[in-house]
Amino acid sequence: MSGVKGAAGQDLRHDSAIKQVMGRADYTDDIALPEGALHAYLGLAQIAAGRIVSMDLSAVEAAPGVIGVLTAKDVPGVNDVSPTGRHDEPLLAEDRVEFHGQALFAVVAETRDAARRAAELAKVDYAPEAHVTDVAEALAADYPHVTEPLTLRRGDAAAAMADAPKRIKGQMRVGGQDHMYLEGHIALAIPGEDETVEVWASTQHPSEAQHMVAHVLGVPSNAVVVQVRRMGGGFGGKESQMNLFCAVAAMAAKKWGAAVKIRPDRDQDMIATGKRPDRDQDMIATGKRHDFLVDYEVGFDETGRILAVDGEFAARCGWSSDLSGPVTDRALFHADNAYYYPAAELRSRPMKTNTVSNTAFRGFGGPQGVIAAERMVEEIAYALGRDPLDIRKANFYGVHGDVTPYHQTVEDNIMPRVVEELEASADYQARRAAVLAHNAKGGVTRKGIALTPVKFGISFTATWFNQAGALVHVYNDGSIMLNHGGTEMGQGLNTKMAQVVADAFQVDVDKVRITKTTTEKVPNTSATAASSGSDLNGMAALDACAQIKARLVSWATEAWGVGEEAVRFAENQVHVGDEVLPFAEFIKQAYMARVHLSAAGFYKTPKIHWDRETGQGRPFYYFAYGAALAEVTIDTLTGEYEVDRVDVLHDVGRSLNPVLDKGQVEGAFVQGMGWLTTEELWWDDEGRLRTHAPSTYKIPLASDMPKEFNVRLADWSENAERTIKRSKAVGEPPFMLGISVFEALSMAVASVGDYRECPRLDAPATPECVLMAVERLRG
């Protein structure tokens, strides 16, 4: 047991908690603006697809307070912000519109209000063309893929399917999801000397923003600094989507030699057309979770054992590729969830649509794969008249095999233990019997109960992203500064990283300071994404600490004439032979002896490799596991429902900070539940997103939280791989636990048809979706 305050493994509050409750934690919009700062605002396309015949911005430029406008022609470098370098995402539209809400121009004015008003005055003539917003329509219209599809193949799926005693074919629609981070996108660019510019932004990926701004400005990356202190939520929505705002602000700042801030509104009216307000610039102009249309066929035997799976995963990618390649890949990687498929063929269809380009969102395609696997389990259970949990247990990895459809062997499987523990601790069997008994009474309210597992692969599937840097300075008063490449969006990454450093030097955590993330301190970082923040940056920070400690030990052995084993860091002190020095005193002496007290640490994840051509490899370093048990009640007259109770058991390995990890699990669960229940993206016939702001797009409220909500971490678990303190990633995996609510709703619906038929709910299961399914099953 460590004797220092806040060492790794201890419960420690978020390092900004006190500032946050006082309203003194500053976000990008709270930064005091430099003298003469200007404000930019985007003008967006008003059609879903077509050609721009002419764009007359004279009224915009003449509006009060306007300094000028920027169009594609004003881009000094390359008019492209495609994060994967596919060159398919112009910053500002050139001659074509690909979705309703695409950025056409930016107006820069003395105030934000003036810029917003002026942006409404553009006169744009379009030659509209037919558009497609829906995945099924895109498939029917033979729309192109935005990026190369992937196929995963193991065994002969067609032959195994043909031989299977039973087969079920089905289709499932899975809706997208808006991030609805409470803080919207924002960037503040401050021009510097020569070609330099400094950008403050709400970004999960400062390095990408840096490179993208440089690309758009036509300057080298060393001319651009991007920094972020904290975000008001990210969830993947600020991994590539801030490029647009950073680039526009930087362009304007350089052009007019003034600081420029850009903050899209949650909503914006179309005064010119006199229509109802239906525009939310943040929600309309930035990407979301991909909607999927999944066609599945599963072959199985009378015992419920899966023999073959064929799945086609078509995604609404939007107008450009953005991150749709890796997102749709990850859907396939998780189409097995926790189950062994003896033979499988899984294909992705990253479809172009005339909608905003969809992007990263917690789980990154994984949830859409997992929910398809769980649908197939449900299908088998209803077909055989069995409890879906029995089907799950019969197919877990380890029962009949351990190799995934991408040919990675599952080596760290703890799924059966997690599920068995939850089944017992949450009293699943008795509660399921009670639910069945309630439903047998045949009343207006019906209940459902479901226990669903999740297994989630950890690592970026783009192997090169699995690297991180950190910079540690020990100042000569013994205080420590850490900079790492990760960003703080509420998950408590900085808190955990400080704990790692405190643990390494054996000093109280309040001796360690972490401030903003900046590309000046740590270069070429990866996005804080894929749940990797602690895994990658923690190891990099540890490496930096190890380097400094090695120098300190080397110096001490020489200075005191002792062996290396005689130098020990413990409890804010350093033991050197028989002598015990306070840490600060030890550091002071080291400084006087000219020991280098700063180090850049580095880490790259070992063991992983992935060959996309063959669909084989080891894309994941390890897996995280969890399970949730949900019980719900539905109202068969209106389709409304309540989540009565949820029990969760989740694996975070040996937790770096249990209380923060529990917060991640709870928050992810509720967000996952929202995705599958009330969060609905709805486009009208003109291709406009009409659920565009919290008034129309409904994320869970406090009153939607399960009436009883018991979340436990599997405290016995430790990572089989040598991760930071044997912990596991926690950001994304518990998101998929929300599927338990979806399946419990399904069971409640199935009760009206006496469980003879799988209700095949589409997601989200809004009250409307539930009622319509009830009516359908009643026949």
Residue 406's SS3 state is coil
> For residue 647, what is the enclosing H or E element?
strand 641-650
Distance, CA of 224 to CA of 212 (rounded, Å): 10
In the set 183, 312, 732, 743, the catalytic residue is 732
Output 118 or 539, the one with its CB closest to another protein.
Answer: 118
Pick the closer one to another protein by CB: 342 or 490: 490
CB of residue 476 to another protein, shortest distance in Å: 31
Reading phi first (left if > 0) and then psi (alpha if -120 to 50, else beta), residue 726 is in: left
Shortest distance, position 432 Cβ to another protein, whole Å: 25
Least CB distance to another protein at residue 386 (A): 32
Report the SS3 class of residue 772: helix
Angle (CA) 481-483-484 rounded to 5° is: 145
DSSP state of 35: T
- Determine the Cα–Cα distance for residues 663 and 32; give it in Å rounded to an integer: 32
Closer to another protein by CB, 13 or 596: give it.
13
Residue count of the chain: 779
Which residue matches tokens 């409404």? 120
> Considering beta carbons, is residue 14 or 392 the nearer one to another protein?
14
CB 534 within 8 A of CB 657: no
- Of 32 and 430, the one with the shorter C-beta distance to another protein is 32
Nearer to another protein, 222 or 638 (CB): 638
- Residues pairing with 42 in the sheet: 106
- Measured from the CB atom, is 138 or 711 closer to another protein? 711
What lies within 8 Å, CB to CB, of 236 at 6+ separation is: 179, 204, 289, 359, 360, 361, 362, 364, 529
- Inter-CA distances, 154 with 95, 311, 343, Å: 45, 13, 5
> Which CB, 554 or 695, lies closer to another protein?
695
Residue 448 or residue 706: which is nearer to another protein going by CB? 706
Tell me the residue ranges of DSSP E strands in 132-228: 151-154, 166-174, 187-191, 197-201, 224-228
* Strands 641-650, 708-713: pairing kind: parallel
Least Cβ distance, residue 180 to another protein (angstroms): 6
Q: Find the DSSP H helices in 577-720.
A: 583-592, 658-676
- Say which DSSP state 290 is in: P
Tabulate helix, strand, coil % of the chain (nearest 5). Answer: 30, 25, 40
From CA 284, how far away is CA 692, in angstroms rounded? 7
For the bound state, the minimum distance from the C-beta of residue 102 to another protein, rounded and expressed in Å, comes to: 21
721 as an active site residue: the answer is no
In the complex, what is the shortest distance from the CB of residue 669 to another protein, in angstroms, rounded to a whole number? 6
Q: Coil, strand, or helix at residue 97?
A: strand
Work out the number of other CB atoms within 10 angstroms of the CB of residue 126.
Answer: 17
Cα 233 → chain centroid: 10
Q: Could you write out the three-class secondary structure of 560-619?
A: HCCCHHHEEEECCEEEECCEEEEHHHHHHHHHHCCCCCEEEEEEECCCCEEECCCCEEEC
| Among 531, 455, 452, CA closest to 496 | 531
Q: Closest distance between another protein and the C-beta of residue 155, in Å?
A: 40
DSSP codes, 242-278: THHHHHHHHHHHHHHTS-EEE---S-B--TTTTPPP-
Nearer to another protein, 508 or 640 (CB): 640
Active site residues: 732
